[in-house]
Amino acid sequence: MKIKVLLADDQAILADGIGSVLSSCPDLEVVGRAGDGFGAVELAEKLHPDVVLMDIRMPNMNGVIATQEIKRRLPDTKVLVLTTFDDSDYILGAINNGASGYLLKDTSATALIDAIKNAYAGDTILPAKIARRIADAARMVTSDREIKLKRKFSFSDREVEIALMLYEGFSNKQIAGALKLSDGTSRNYISTIYEKLGVKSRQEATEKMKEAING
């Protein structure tokens, strides 16, 4: 059974090149192409692709908003964002809206095919340069928030870093990928954070931290 891929890119030449690369792989099938975010959402809802390869800068609706809409309507569809190193302003927004990872536009054909297969399998795709940007952004929280959480809940430096990433909407896998932790280590940290907060769910944890930060 082939992995169905939808391409969303406003640059026709680039989309054609990607389409040719993917068509050369017997495990993949390009089921459609969209030239903007609106088209990507409409085609995704119509075609139910397994993976959407999403350009981040497009007219009418950018890739961040399109990712949010696709994940809202089709939560099982994986979205891989195609980005340049200069698109870091969009990265956290796309992560928070459900993107399974990122590919840099200079990626090789082999890496592109592997990333699509891995995303379909449930992996988070984060090139090293992108992962560093995410980790840096997570560390660029205000010292005021860190101090409040540390004092109230006795978090360690690593725990407060992960707690704030939870607060900002990162998934467990995205936290592990950004901080170069194993899934098991990430889960252990999160369990400890829940215990110190006195909660049992992410929603309760977010609410408890919000009270501490804003109180």
Task: Give pLDDT tens digits for 52-87.
Answer: 999 988 888 888 889 989 998 999 999 999 877 666
Q: Please write the tens of the pLDDT for every residue from 28-38.
A: 999 999 999 99
Q: Please write the tens of the pLDDT for every residue from 124-182.
A: 887 776 677 666 665 554 467 888 898 899 999 889 989 988 888 888 888 888 788 89
Confidence tier at 97 by pLDDT (50, 70, 90): confident
Q: Is this model's pTM higher than 0.85 or not?
A: no
The pLDDT of residue 139 is 58
Q: Provide mean pLDDT across the span 85-101.
A: 73
Contact in structure between 169 and 163 (CB atoms under 8 Å):
no
Q: 3-class SS at 31? A: strand
The fold of 3-126 is: Rossmann fold (3.40.50)
The fold of 141-214 is: Arc Repressor Mutant, subunit A (1.10.10)
Q: Which helix (H) or strand (E) holds 114?
A: helix 109-120
CA distances to 106, 162, 172 from 177, rounded to whole Å, are 21, 12, 9
Residue ranges of the domains in the chain?
3-126, 141-214
The pLDDT of residue 157 is 86
Per-residue pLDDT at 41 exceeds 80: yes
Task: Take residue 71 and report the two structure tokens written for it.
Answer: 């994940």
Partners of 52 in beta bridges: 6, 79
Task: Take residue 96 and report the two structure tokens written for it.
Answer: 């928070």
